[in-house]
Chains A and B, each alone.
Chain A
């Protein structure tokens, strides 16, 4: 019986090591493309929580987010040879994750519409978001995490993606432009609009 499990990444220069001794993401994917599965494990360890944060802020569902991150990392495993060293690895992996998250949201939306259409007008019940504003925390200057999360969910998808990538994932405008495949100017404008919308929404929660 063959052992199909992944190797332990302990022999790989890990995250705790100083930067100069660590492989870059691009070096790791190159090694993985050459058959080194430890490099894959290292990439998974580097990206799983970053992707989880991105996807959770996007879909607002822990279980779904984890499934999407798993799907993304499976795609990395099965489609490793699709990566070409012309773009940053992070751009590539975020693009995959973002596309899977959008697909999931569209599927969820379709499901919701179908569900409502089966109901009569009198029995229709619109679920209010479960997240309640926490007025006590806003007094300190920062908005509560749940309030922001709720406000993010109200943003249109094209605003939501870019603002999460910029203000939560802290990616550069150039990288975001490549991930969402829109011009740099459009990205800047969308981020600005998204921030203004969030500011308006959060003002109402106060």
Chain B
């Protein structure tokens, strides 16, 4: 054990937290180094002196002052509770805000129809080209419908029946001629 290891273990030695082996090493070091023993005693004195330091008390006005602060805090809280009513706004502020919002919306509605009328009176080039295209008939064309009436299940009767495999397949052990 060297001096640094000794110093690292002083508190653990004093508080009896060393293992048996560590304690033996520590005590051997103490026996061999009288100045280490002095240092240990000195640290013990420091700890004892700190433990015996008197408790410092608060002043006699402490509770009175704390009471005042708490009363002020309660006062503030009650004022905040009575004034705060809607999303953090006071009733007056909430009313004023609502009036302003309604006014803005109404003014906006006054301007919006004029702007949309102007847009309908000036068709763009693309819109004009679309207007020149021929108008498709809105009534269904019977001829076109008849052509399209094609049944996908229709079977042509002239075609041989390709699904009859009876004479084409001969299985193993089949003794047919």
Contact = CB atoms under 8 A, between A and B. Distances in A.
Q: Is B one of A's binding partners?
A: yes
Contacts of A73: 66
A143 to B, nearest CB: 4
A188 B55 contact: no
B47 A69 contact: no
Interface in A52-82: 52-53, 56-57, 62, 65-66, 69-70, 73-74, 77-78
Interface string B21-61: 00000000000000000010011011111111111111100
A56 B62 CA distance: 15
Interface residues of B, number: 36
Contacts of A189: 8
Q: Chain A: interface residue count, which band?
A: 35 or more
B11 to A, nearest CB: 4
Contact of B69 (A53, A65, A70, A143): A70
B10 A50 contact: no
A49 B56 contact: yes
Contacts of B10: 192, 195-196
Interface stretch (A1-9, A104-112, A124-132): A1-9
Contacts, number: 101
A118 interface: no
Indicate the member of B10, B43, B53 with the most A CB atoms within 10 Å.
Answer: B53
A48 interface: yes
Contact of B58 (A69, A74, A167, A168): A69
B56 A56 contact: yes
Interface stretch (B71-79, B84-92, B99-107, B118-126): B71-79
A198 interface: yes
Contacts of B53: 53, 57, 145, 148, 168
Interface of B: 7-8, 10-12, 39, 42-43, 45-59, 62-63, 65-67, 69-75, 78
Given A49-B56, A74-B69, 19 more contacts: A2-B74, A4-B71, A4-B74, A5-B71, A6-B67, A53-B55, A56-B56, A57-B53, A66-B59, A66-B62, A69-B62, A78-B73, A142-B45, A143-B49, A145-B49, A168-B50, A192-B8, A196-B10, A198-B50
In the A-B complex, the 10 residue pairs with the closest CB atoms? A4-B71, A167-B50, A192-B11, A4-B74, A143-B49, A56-B56, A53-B56, A142-B49, A199-B42, A199-B43
